[in-house]
Amino acid sequence: MRYLIIGGAGIFAIHTIKEILSHKDTTGVLSIGRNPQRSNTFTLGVGEGDDRYTYRQMHLKFEIDFLTDLIEEYKPNFIVNFAALAYATSWYKSSRYYDTNVSAVSQLCEFLYDKKYLKQFLQIGSSEIYGPYDFPVKEDEKPNPTSPYAISKLAADYHMMSLYNRLGFPANVIRPCNCYGSGQLLYRLVPKALLFGMTNQKFPLEGGGKAKKSYMHAKDLAKAIYMILQSDKLGKVYNAGVEKPNTIREITETIADNLNIKFSDFYVDAKAREAEDSQYWIDSSLIKKDIGWEPKISLEEGIDETAEWVKKNKEELLREPFTFTLRA
């Protein structure tokens, strides 16, 4: 089976590729990303010594013609689309988010309508499309996206399901909760807090850490993706997340415990993020019922895995930016 991973330089894609390559019936994985491949610190050595794996630098939005030529040559059986602009700054340059997250996806799918080699197109969605519900939200709950980013992700989900319902296009959507793990960039909560703690820096706890988020390890997400691809299900939307959310403060406290440092000495209060939702909480019972998936890695275990990666690569990570920079 041949797999095409779009947005393949991102850390969640890398964990997914490692999962796919661990199976003997995988004959090829072609990974597409907008950037050159980075060092092993961020690629985790994915595909090293494995001639089934290839990485190509290519931009989904601005090089769609090159991508479709490559797809026609490669003829993947499965496509997983991670490519998206995703951060809490989507009110500014919001057209960029729609360009990548909606327009480029629809253009790619039109090319794929008649491709008999394609068994499934799995779109990576987002739990943010539901907004701040105070109970675990199922897939059929009314969406309440509160940012251009979340709106763009919901639009892509709806587009994929319309293609399945009208044209029989082999689409599925997975909506994961927040994820983390080794290889993640330093503007994200878990690796940033770990590195701050290891280098005796005060971690800025935005809004006192009151917001609640569900955090799942990237390896659990990778398992969910692989199991959906191997199922006989099509035209489905699946939530994938942990049972309950934690406050950002609780997650930061768990990180302090992992590092054996006193929490009160670890953090400093910081201004709350602009227009941040108070809570994300999803119900993942459907994916458990349909394909038997549920997360296995506890928050403590996942933070320990990420901490080992940060410790091993601390000197390189200290040279990395701690802030997000929007690019097309």
* DSSP assignments along 161-207, one per residue: HHHHHHH---EEEEEE-EEE-TT--TTSHHHHHHHHHHTTPPEEEEG
Report the amino acid identity of residue 260.
Answer: N
Has domain 181-213+244-277+298-317 been given CATH number 3.90.25.10? yes
Instruction: Report the b/e string of 85-107 with b at 16+ CB within 10 A.
Output: bbeebbeeebebbbbbbbbbbee
Measured from the Cβ of residue 177, the count of other Cβ atoms closer than 10 Å reads: 23
pLDDT over 70, % of the chain: 99
**302 φψ region: left (φ > 0), alpha (ψ -120 to 50), beta (else):** alpha
pLDDT at 170: 98
Report CA-CA distances (Å) from 180 to 3, 15, 26, 323: 23, 10, 25, 16
CA distance 319 to 321: 7
Task: Round the average pLDDT of the chain to a whole number and report it.
Answer: 95
pLDDT at 104: 97
pLDDT at 278: 84
pLDDT at 89: 75
Residue spans in the chain of domains classed CATH 3.40.50.720: 2-179+216-240
- Cα 51 versus chain centre, distance: 25
Fold of the CATH domain 2-179+216-240: Rossmann fold (3.40.50)
Residue spans in the chain of domains classed CATH 3.90.25.10: 181-213+244-277+298-317
Residues of the chain below pLDDT 70: 88
pLDDT at 87: 76
Task: Return the closest-CA partner of residue 215 out of 12, 9, 8, 5.
Answer: 12
